[in-house]
């Protein structure tokens, strides 16, 4: 197999082009000898006209303290964890789940049981409400799976959904009407 063949003149032209590009790149990477002029300060009101009247984003109160304390949190106490562990065992035994949804539900329950393992992204999104939001997400996946399975009340998915609703009430979250 032979490579591309260039004539002597074309080869020199290409070599010259490469050297020129390398030299230009090296000069562009050097800092300027003369400092740039200072950037003028922005005017006091920097919000564009279309953003007037929209809420301003503010940090979630206690977020820094929560993010600092969570990695040091012990597992949930045994008596408080009992309904979560029972629900987790029921999800593990239920074969009606799609394997990926089952893993997602189990990991969300595990985050609540082991607060030190919760990713900081969830805390940033939900603040101190993250346990309720984790259980809500797991309940949503169960409701979705139950709908896909034809809403069979004799399925193992239904009592799991009812258990999720009980936890959601205790956490102050919205429940799923399918499991009432």
DSSP 14-59: HHHHHHHHHHHHHHHHSPPSSPPPPPPPPPS--S-GGGTTSPPP-P
> How many Cβ atoms sit within 10 Å of the Cβ of residue 7?
8
Tell me, yes or no, whether 46 lies in a domain. Answer: no
Q: What b/e readout covers 13-46, taking b as 16+ CB neighbours within 10 angstroms?
A: eeeeeeeeeeeeeeeeeeeeeeeeeeeeeeeeee
Tell me, yes or no, whether 34 lies in a domain. Answer: no
pLDDT at 117: 93
Tell me, yes or no, whether 121 lies in a domain. Answer: yes
Both tokens of 115, joined, read 């607060």
Tell me, yes or no, whether 18 lies in a domain. Answer: no
Supply the DSSP symbol for 153.
Answer: T
pLDDT at 28: 53
Q: Could you tell me the pLDDT band of residue 180, with boundaries at 50, 70 and 90?
A: confident
The pLDDT tens digits of the residues spanning 61-99 come to 667 777 788 788 899 999 999 999 999 999 999 999 999
Tell me, yes or no, whether 167 lies in a domain. Answer: yes
Least confident of 64-68, 110-114, 115-119: 64-68
Place of tokens 């940090």: 59
Both tokens of 88, joined, read 């987790």
pLDDT at 37 over 70: no
Tell me, yes or no, whether 138 lies in a domain. Answer: yes
**Distance, CA of 79 to chain centre:** 30
- Asked whether the beta carbons of 134 and 76 are under 8 A apart, the reply is no
Q: How many residues does the chain have?
A: 180
pLDDT at 115 over 70: yes
pLDDT at 128: 85
Distance CA 163, CA 93 (A): 15
Tell me, yes or no, whether 55 lies in a domain. Answer: no
Structural domain boundaries enclosing 123: 63-179
Average pLDDT, the chain: 82
Number of domains in the chain: 1
Tell me, yes or no, whether 96 lies in a domain. Answer: yes
């Amino acid at each position: 197999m032979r490579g591309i063949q260039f004539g002597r003149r074309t080869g020199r032209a290409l070599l010259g082009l490469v050297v020129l590009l390398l030299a230009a790149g090296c000069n562009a990477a050097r800092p300027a000898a003369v400092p740039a002029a200072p950037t003028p300060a922005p005017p006091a009101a920097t919000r564009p006209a279309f953003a007037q009247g929209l809420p301003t984003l503010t940090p979630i109160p206690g977020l820094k303290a929560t993010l600092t304390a969570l990695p040091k949190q012990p597992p949930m106490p045994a008596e408080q964890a009992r309904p979560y562990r029972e629900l987790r065992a029921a999800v593990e035994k239920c074969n009606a789940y799609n394997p990926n949804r089952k893993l997602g539900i189990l990991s969300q329950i595990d985050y609540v049981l082991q607060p030190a393992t919760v990713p900081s992204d969830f805390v940033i999104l939900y603040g101190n409400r993250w346990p309720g939001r984790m259980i809500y997400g797991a309940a949503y996946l169960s409701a979705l799976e139950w709908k896909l399975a034809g809403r069979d009340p004799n399925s193992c998915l239904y009592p799991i959904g009812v258990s999720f609703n009980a936890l959601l009430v205790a956490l102050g979250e919205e429940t799923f009407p399918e499991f009432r």
